[in-house]
């Protein structure tokens, strides 16, 4: 396979598995017209290269008994000499409660998304841990009330096929 | 009381699909592979433009031919994608779906007794529209061994001195067949030689899975004798917006516009604004949907091969047309029984012409999950038939 073919194959695989990590590789091979072994090899290469970083499950926790709350926290920080935002971001993302950390352009610097068991737990984390960090100037915490769409999937309502059963 | 109905209408056969639809609608829990429209929603940016057009109060008639901006976009698109050059002012007409273009095109061109060559299996409206326009349908039965393409020798055999129009329905519903450049060249030569016009229904042009779609209008000497019909339904998943168009010589488009003006006035304005957005920024959506269809097409063909169900490889539209001849039953019975026993709806090939006997149309405008479920049931069904 030429380098261009490999690139194209990788893109097709990534597009296919981005929203369906559990796809059967033989079936994917049929759909893409690529040998399943080639797909498996390409995926393992991309895992090693850190292009594929993991395979997750999208769960709507609201439909379970789990009482978790998700918060989105805007953090303003003072960048550190020679390190920029990397070192403070690292201090934040090392907390297991933290789900995502993004460096953001605009009115604040880091956006932190975290899950907590309760409002209280999140508040305590923000007050005791996040705000206490030396370079953190301020935090604005937003609690997520309802997830309509996540990772490209609509959680709010199921899509129904509204077409007639038979049409010419 | 006198018969209120005109004989030419009461004598018209109602579509074979209609009959099947009536059976299916009594089985609400049936799953279907019988739909002739995309499963995708119209891309959101296109719907959004429709909503904006309502908000801006763009709710009046447009000119009879349609918004100039839309006609210009259509001509730009047709030039860049299909290498056919039309004047938006005189050679383009926006219609209510491709269906209207077929109807008024035939009505504009046919004298009583003119013959129209209609390759079948094909879409259900060519024959009745020809009859209503006073023409005489000449059915040309396409063959599986040619992958349901139209060959020059088949066409030559069907031509008579009265032949005026050839309908060219490719990529084809229901077979999924396409016509490549080399196929079209022979057809074009005959049309020029015998002075025949072509009505090229290319509504599925964007959904081609082998090379680029070629329109016969782009071949030398053909633009002046071709009505090119296309639309937004299949490419952009916009069936309910009811928007299509015809491009052709200005003499014909002019007369079609006259008919259109009296029976339609103009195509829906909101849809026209949405369609401008589709043509300007919709290429990526089309490409993504095409890729998804292609994956399903490969998947279906692979599954048929596994089940040893005989099916030629179609390269267009979103249909496969497997043969069911091994079961020795009429397509109608095969489909009715499949529906009754396994609650899966597919359409008998005969709904698209008598030569569709021995075939069924299966649509892959469904998610892989739905296809899997339906195919599982079809496999059970044919296994039972084989073991009988």
pLDDT at B68: 98
Domain chopping of chain A, boundaries = 3-48, 61-145
Q: Which residues pair with B230 in a beta bridge?
A: B245
Provide mean pLDDT across the span A21-38: 95
Q: Which CATH class is domain B7-42+284-387?
A: alpha beta
pLDDT at B13: 84
Where in chain B is CATH 3.40.640.10?
A: 58-281
Q: Which two tokens stand for residue B226?
A: 């071709």
Cross-chain Cβ contact A168/B345 below 8 Å: no
Q: Which of A69-73, A158-162, B48-52, B309-313 has the lowest mean pLDDT?
A: A158-162
Q: Which of A96-100, A130-134, A150-154, B180-184 has the lowest mean pLDDT?
A: A150-154
Q: Which of B7-11, B36-40, B106-110 has the lowest mean pLDDT?
A: B7-11
- The answer on pLDDT for B246 being more than 80 is yes
The partner residue sitting opposite A161, judged by closest CB among B15, B36, B39, is B39
Cross-chain Cβ contact A165/B25 below 8 Å: yes
pLDDT at B258: 98
Cross-chain Cβ contact B34/A166 below 8 Å: yes
C-beta neighbour count of A143 within 10 angstroms: 13
- The answer on pLDDT for A32 being more than 80 is yes
The helix-helix angle for A3-18 and A36-48 (nearest 10°) equals 80
The partner residue sitting opposite A32, judged by closest CB among B21, B35, B295, is B295
Computed over every residue of chain A, the mean pLDDT equals 93
Query: Per-residue pLDDT tens for B91-121?
Result: 999 999 999 999 999 999 999 999 999 999 9
Phi, psi of B204 (to 5 degrees): -100, 15
Domain covering A3-48: architecture: Orthogonal Bundle (1.10)
Provide mean pLDDT across the span A61-84: 91
pLDDT at B286: 98
pLDDT at B307: 96
The answer to whether B279 and B77 have CB atoms below 8 angstroms apart is yes
Chain B CB within 8 Å of residue A30 CB: yes
Provide mean pLDDT across the span B55-65: 97
> Using 50, 70 and 90 to split pLDDT, how confident is the model at A14?
very high
Provide mean pLDDT across the span B329-335: 96
pLDDT at A156: 78
Residues 6+ apart with CB under 8 A from B188: B216, B219, B220, B221, B222
Cross-chain Cβ contact B35/A164 below 8 Å: yes
The answer to whether B268 and B275 have CB atoms below 8 angstroms apart is no
The answer to whether A122 and A144 have CB atoms below 8 angstroms apart is no
The partner residue sitting opposite A30, judged by closest CB among B34, B298, B351, is B298
pLDDT at B16: 76
> Using 50, 70 and 90 to split pLDDT, how confident is the model at B78?
very high
Residues 6+ apart with CB under 8 A from B154: B140, B142, B143, B146
| Residue whose entry in the numeric block shows the structure tokens 């035939």 | B106
- Domain B58-281: assigned CATH number: 3.40.640.10
Provide mean pLDDT across the span A44-67: 94
Could you tell me which residues of chain B have a Cβ less than 8 Å from any Cβ in chain A? 15, 17, 20-21, 24-25, 30, 32, 34-37, 39, 123-124, 173, 295-296, 298-299, 302, 345, 347, 351, 368
8-state DSSP, A125: I
Provide mean pLDDT across the span A46-63: 94
Provide mean pLDDT across the span B54-82: 97
Cross-chain Cβ contact B299/A167 below 8 Å: no
CA angle A39-A41-A42, nearest 5°?
65
Residue B84: name the closest of B214, B274, B191, B218 by CA: B218
Task: Tell me the whole-structure pTM to 2 decimals.
Answer: 0.93
Query: Per-residue pLDDT tens for B275-329?
Result: 999 999 999 999 999 999 999 999 999 999 999 999 999 999 999 999 999 999 9
Provide mean pLDDT across the span B237-262: 98
> Using 50, 70 and 90 to split pLDDT, how confident is the model at A145?
very high
Cross-chain Cβ contact A163/B37 below 8 Å: yes
Provide mean pLDDT across the span B227-234: 98
Where in chain B is CATH 3.90.1150.10?
A: 7-42+284-387
The predicted complex's ipTM stands at 0.84
Provide mean pLDDT across the span B50-67: 97
Cα B36 to its chain centre, rounded Å, is 9
pLDDT at B24: 85
Provide mean pLDDT across the span B1-10: 93
pLDDT at A158: 76
Determine the 3-state secondary structure of B351 from DSSP. helix
The whole-angstrom separation of Cα B140 and Cα B123 is 13
Provide mean pLDDT across the span A111-129: 95
- Domain A61-145: assigned CATH number: 3.30.70.920
pLDDT at B173: 98
- Chain A: residue whose CA lies nearest to B240: A163
- 3-state secondary structure string, B97-141? HHHHHHHHHHHHHCCCCCEEEEEECCCCCHHHHHHHCCCEEEEEE
């Amino acid at each position: 396979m030429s380098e261009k073919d490999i690139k194209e194959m990788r893109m097709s695989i990534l597009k296919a598995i981005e929203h369906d990590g559990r796809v059967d590789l033989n079936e994917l091979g049929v759909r893409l017209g690529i040998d399943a072994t080639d797909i498996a090899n390409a995926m393992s290469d991309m895992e090693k290269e850190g292009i594929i970083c993991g395979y997750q499950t999208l769960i709507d926790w609201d439909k379970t008994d789990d009482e978790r709350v998700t918060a989105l926290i805007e953090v303003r920080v003072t960048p550190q000499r020679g390190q920029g935002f990397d070192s403070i971001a690292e201090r934040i993302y090392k907390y297991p409660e933290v789900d995502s950390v993004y460096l953001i352009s605009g009115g604040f610097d880091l956006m932190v998304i975290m899950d907590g068991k309760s409002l209280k737990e999140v508040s305590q984390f923000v007050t005791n841990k996040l705000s206490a960090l030396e370079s953190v100037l301020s935090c604005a915490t937003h609690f997520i009330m309802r997830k309509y769409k996540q990772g490209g999937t609509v959680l709010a309502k199921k899509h129904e096929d509204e077409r007639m059963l038979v049409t010419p | 009381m006198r018969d209120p109905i005109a004989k030419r209408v009461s004598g018209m056969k109602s579509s074979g699909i209609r009959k099947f639809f009536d059976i299916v609608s009594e089985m609400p829990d049936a799953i279907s592979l019988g739909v002739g429209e995309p499963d995708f929603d119209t891309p959101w940016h296109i719907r959004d433009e429709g909503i904006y057009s309502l908000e801006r109060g763009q709710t009046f008639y447009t000119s009879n031919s349609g918004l100039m901006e839309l006609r210009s976009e259509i001509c730009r698109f047709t030039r860049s994608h299909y290498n056919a050059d039309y004047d938006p002012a005189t050679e383009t007409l926006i219609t209510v779906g491709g269906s209207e273009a077929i109807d008024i095109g035939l009505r504009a061109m046919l004298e009583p007794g003119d013959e129209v060559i209609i390759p079948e299996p094909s879409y259900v409206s060519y024959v009745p529209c020809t009859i209503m326009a006073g023409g005489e349908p000449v059915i040309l039965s396409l063959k599986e061994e040619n992958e349901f393409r139209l060959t020059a020798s088949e066409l030559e055999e069907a031509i008579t001195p009265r032949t005026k129009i050839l309908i060219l329905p490719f990529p084809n519903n229901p077979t999924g067949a396409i016509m490549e450049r080399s196929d079209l060249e022979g057809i074009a030569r005959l049309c020029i030689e015998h002075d025949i016009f072509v009505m090229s229904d290319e509504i599925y042009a964007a959904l081609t899975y082998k090379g680029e779609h070629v329109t016969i209008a782009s071949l030398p000497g053909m633009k002046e004798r071709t009505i090119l019909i296309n639309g937004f339904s299949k490419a952009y998943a916009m069936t309910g917006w009811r928007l299509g168009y015809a491009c052709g010589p200005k003499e014909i488009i002019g007369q079609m516009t006259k008919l259109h003006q009296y029976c339609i006035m103009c195509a829906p304005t909101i849809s026209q604004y949405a369609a401008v957005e589709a043509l300007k920024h919709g290429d990526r959506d089309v490409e993504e949907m095409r890729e998804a269809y292609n994956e399903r097409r490969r998947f279906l063909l692979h599954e048929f091969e596994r089940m040893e169900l005989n099916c030629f490889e179609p390269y267009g539209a979103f249909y496969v047309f497997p043969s069911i001849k091994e079961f020795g039953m009429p397509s109608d019975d095969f489909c009715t029984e499949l529906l009754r026993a396994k609650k899966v709806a597919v359409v008998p090939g005969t709904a698209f012409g008598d030569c569709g006997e021995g075939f069924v149309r299966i649509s892959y405008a469904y998610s892989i999950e739905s296809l899997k479920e339906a195919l599982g049931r079809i496999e059970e069904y044919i296994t039972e038939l084989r073991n009988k």
